[in-house]
Structure 1
Amino acid sequence: MSNPQTLHATPTGSKQAIIVITVILASVMELIDTTIVNVALNEMAGSLGATIEDVAWVITSYAIANVIIIPMTGFLGEYFGRKNYYLTSIVIFTIASYFCGTSGDLPTLVFWRFIQGIGGGALLSTSQSLLFDAFPPQKRGVASGLFGMGIILGPTLGPYVGGLIIDNYHWSAIFFVNIPIGILAAASTYLYIDQRAGEGKRKAQIKIDYLGILLLMVGVGSLQFVLEKGESEDWFDSRMIIGFVAAAVVGIIGFIWRELTTDQPVVNIRVMKDRTLALTTILSFVAGIGLFTSVFVYPVLVQRISGYTATMTGLSLLWPTMAGVILMPILGKRLSAGASPLPFITIGMILMIVFGFEAGNFTADASQWQWFPVQLLRVAGISMLQLPLINQAVAGLSPKDYPAGIAINNMIRQLGGAFGIALANNFVVQRYAQHRSDLMVNMDPANPLFVDRLETLKRGMMSVSGDAVQATAQAYRQLGLMVDKQSYLLAYLDTFRIVSIFFIAIMPLLFFMRTKKKTAEEAAAQAKMAAEAAH
Structure 2
Amino acid sequence: MAGATVQSEDSLVLYGFDRVIITITAVLCALLEIVDTTIVNVALNEMRGSLGATLTDVAWVITAYAIANVIVIPMTSWLSQQFGRRNYFAASIIIFTVASFACGNADNIWELVTFRFIQGMGGGALLVTAQTIITESYPAEKRGIAQAIYGMGVIVGPTLGPPLGGWIVDNWSWPYIFYINVPLGIIATMLSLIYVKSPKYGEKLKASQVDWWGILFLIAFIGSLQFVLEHGQQDDWFESHEIVTLSIVAVFGLLAFIWRESVYEHPIVNLSVLNDANLRIGTIMCFILGFGLYGSTFVIPIYTQSILGWPALDAGMLLIPSSLMTAFMMPFIGKMIQNGVPQTYMVATGFMVFFGFTFWMYSIMTPNTGAEHMFWPLILRGIGLGLLFVPITTMALSTLKGKSIGEGAAFTGMMRQLGGSFGIALISTFITRFTQSHRVNLVAHETATDFQTQQHLLQLQRGFMSRGLSASEALNKAYAAMDGAVMKQATVLSYMDVFLYLGILFLICIPFILLVKQGKSKVDMSSVH
TM-score range, shorter chain: 0.7 to 0.9
Alignment check: 8 A CA contact 1:40 1:310 kept: no
User: In the alignment, what sits opposite 2:317?
Assistant: 315
1:176 aligns with 2:179: yes
CA separation of 1:44/1:483 partners in 2, compared to 1, >3 Å: closer, same or farther?
A: farther
TM-score, structure 1 as length reference: 0.82
1:392 aligns with 2:403: no
Instruction: For residues 417-442 of structure 1, give each alpha carbon's deviation from its aligned partner in whole angstroms, at most 9, with x where no partner exists.
Output: 11111111211111121122222224
Q: 1:219-298 maps to which residues of 2 (within 5 A)?
A: 219-298=221-300
User: In the alignment, what sits opposite 2:359?
Assistant: 357
User: In the alignment, what sits opposite 1:3?
Assistant: none
Alignment check: 8 A CA contact 1:39 1:314 kept: no
Instruction: For residues 381-424 of structure 1, give each alpha carbon's deviation from its aligned partner in whole angstroms, at most 9, with x where no partner exists.
Output: 12111111123324565676443333212221211111111111
Larger deviation, residues 140-149 vs 247-256:
140-149
1:305 aligns with 2:269: no
Which of 339, 342, 354 is 1:340 aligned to? Answer: 342
Larger deviation, residues 439-448 vs 32-41:
32-41
Query: C-alpha distance in 1, partners of 2:146/2:284?
Result: 32
TM-score, structure 2 as length reference: 0.83
1:292 is aligned with what amino acid?
Y
1:497 aligns with 2:496: no
Deviation at 1:260, TM superposition (A): 1.5
User: In the alignment, what sits opposite 1:74?
Assistant: 77
1:288 is aligned with what amino acid?
G
Deviation at 1:371, TM superposition (A): 0.5
1:412 aligns with 2:415: yes
User: In the alignment, what sits opposite 2:68?
Assistant: 65
Query: C-alpha distance in 2, partners of 1:153/1:428?
Result: 25
Larger deviation, residues 457-466 vs 391-400:
391-400
**Percent of matched pairs sharing the same residue:** 39
User: In the alignment, what sits opposite 2:4?
Assistant: none
CA separation of 1:167/1:230 partners in 2, compared to 1, >3 Å: closer, same or farther?
A: same
Query: C-alpha distance in 1, partners of 2:423/2:133?
Result: 33
Instruction: For residues 124-174 of structure 1, give each alpha carbon's deviation from its aligned partner in whole angstroms, at most 9, with x where no partner exists.
Output: 44446767999999x999999976765565455434323322444444432
Deviation at 1:274, TM superposition (A): 3.9
1:378 aligns with 2:385: no
Query: C-alpha distance in 1, partners of 2:373/2:165?
Result: 22
Larger deviation, residues 25-34 vs 85-94:
25-34
Which of 421, 443, 448 is 1:445 aligned to? Answer: 448
1:309 is aligned with what amino acid?
P
Deviation at 1:379, TM superposition (A): 1.5
Query: C-alpha distance in 2, partners of 1:504/1:140?
Result: 28
2:328 is aligned with what amino acid?
I
1:116 aligns with 2:119: yes
User: In the alignment, what sits opposite 1:94?
Assistant: 97
Alignment check: 8 A CA contact 1:284 1:412 kept: yes
Query: C-alpha distance in 1, partners of 2:352/2:109?
Result: 38
User: In the alignment, what sits opposite 1:514?
Assistant: 517
2:125 is aligned with what amino acid?
A
1:428 aligns with 2:431: yes
Instruction: For residues 167-190 of structure 1, give each alpha carbon's deviation from its aligned partner in whole angstroms, at most 9, with x where no partner exists.
Output: 444444323322333345446656
User: In the alignment, what sits opposite 1:456?
Assistant: 459
- The alignment partner of 1:465 has SS state of coil
Deviation at 1:309, TM superposition (A): 1.9
Which of 24, 29, 33 is 1:26 aligned to? Answer: 29
Larger deviation, residues 318-327 vs 116-125:
116-125
2:86 is aligned with what amino acid?
K
2:32 is aligned with what amino acid?
M
Query: C-alpha distance in 1, partners of 2:23/2:96?
Result: 19
Deviation at 1:243, TM superposition (A): 1.7
1:367 aligns with 2:370: yes
Alignment check: 8 A CA contact 1:159 1:317 kept: no
Query: C-alpha distance in 1, partners of 2:281/2:476?
Result: 58
- The alignment partner of 2:206 has SS state of helix
Deviation at 1:477, TM superposition (A): 2.1
Would you say how many aligned residue pairs link Structure 1 and Structure 2? 517
Can you give the 5+ residue segments of structure 2 that lack an aligned partner in the other structure?
1-10
1:427 is aligned with what amino acid?
F
User: In the alignment, what sits opposite 1:472?
Assistant: 475
